[in-house]
Amino acid sequence: MDLRLRRRLARLLAGASIELSPRDPFAGERLRGLFAPGTTVFVTHPADATHHDIAAACARLRGAGFIPVPHLAARRFSGFTQASDLLRRVREEAAVASILVTAGDADRPAGPFCDSLDLLASGLVERHGIGHVLFAAYPEGHPGIGAGVLERALRHKLALARAHGLDATLLTQFGFEPAPIRQWLAGLPARGVLCPVRIGVAGPASVARIAQFAVHCGLVAMLPALACRHAALPRILTEVAPDALLRALFAEPLAGAPVAGLHIFTFGGVRRTAEWLGAWRAAA
């Protein structure tokens, strides 16, 4: 690999964000042994976690010197009071300045919010002093939402964020092929989307593990690209990392919307992700 490209990727990876669940044992002081203070850590909103779990994890991470960014899955909130309480607590106890707003994968809303638009429209986000929101984006499409619907929803969310005085960033779902990501980024300005983009990649994990998460996220269309590279059984059982994707993606300058950085989905675990990043730093 060209030395300049290696160094460029090392810089991007050094500033990459990661994510973990609120009940992960590394969601706090233990993370200091693996990642540098100042790392941005997204805290997910799984079905088995309460909003108290999320607030407590964010507070522990902030206390350990990290920058917590909680997921807010709109359909999981039972009411305005619960959503407001979580926003108040993460702001007061963890100095949270950014949140990732999603609809969530629940079939039916637990309360008044059907999607992220409903949560934004409530005014709760800015009311609690949070000025930056991230929205999920899908360069390779969404299995349950048509491309046109997805495009209109994104424009509406960005317009609503502006109307509420919120800065916005897009966070992409992980993928396996560079071409769709490059094409999607290049087309954003023409569609009126000019906000920064954080590119999501699957961290080091076994092929079987990544495939499991792809199915869980409904990203079945991505599996053929994964299977083409790792079809043999021994390869399915061994670990893969996104090195080849990153090399291909950043070998040439990316056109379109500005890239704010990388986000690593830690399917193989937080410790393994830290080791992989450490190897990149050493190599550069």
Three-class DSSP category at 136: strand
State the DSSP H helix or E strand holding residue 11, giving kind and residue range, or none if neither. Answer: helix 3-14
Judged by average pLDDT, the poorest of 42-51, 120-129, 134-143, 221-230 is 221-230
Tens-place pLDDT, residues 78-119:
999 999 999 999 999 999 999 999 998 888 999 999 999 999
pLDDT at 146 over 60: yes
Mean pLDDT across the chain: 88
Least confident of 61-70, 144-153, 178-187: 144-153
In this predicted structure, the answer to whether residue 150 has a pLDDT above a threshold of 70 is yes
> How do residues 227-240 score in pLDDT, each as one tens digit?
554 444 344 445 68
Whole-model pTM above 0.85? yes
264 in Cβ contact with 39 (< 8 Å): no
Is residue 223 scored above 80 in pLDDT? no
Share of the chain above pLDDT 70, in %: 87
Q: Which residues of 200-216 are buried (b: 16+ CB within 10 A; e: fewer)?
A: bbbbbbbbebbbeebee
What is the predicted pLDDT for the residue at 224?
A: 53
Separation between Cα atoms, residue 161 and residue 169, nearest integer Å? 10
Is pLDDT above 70 for 220?
no
Q: Cα separation of 252 and 245, whole Å?
A: 13
Mean pLDDT throughout 25-32?
Answer: 96
Q: What whole-number distance in Å separates Cα of residue 32 and Cα of residue 172? A: 26
User: 77, 110 in Cβ contact below 8 A?
Assistant: yes
Q: How far apart are CA 76 and CA 231, in angstroms?
A: 37
User: Residue 148's pLDDT is what?
Assistant: 74
Residue 17 CB partners (closer than 8 Å, separation 6+): 39, 40, 41, 42, 69, 198, 261, 262, 263, 264
| Higher per-residue pLDDT: 73 or 267 | 73
User: Is pLDDT at 245 greater than 90 in this prediction?
Assistant: yes
Measure the CA dihedral 87/92/98/104, to 10°.
-30
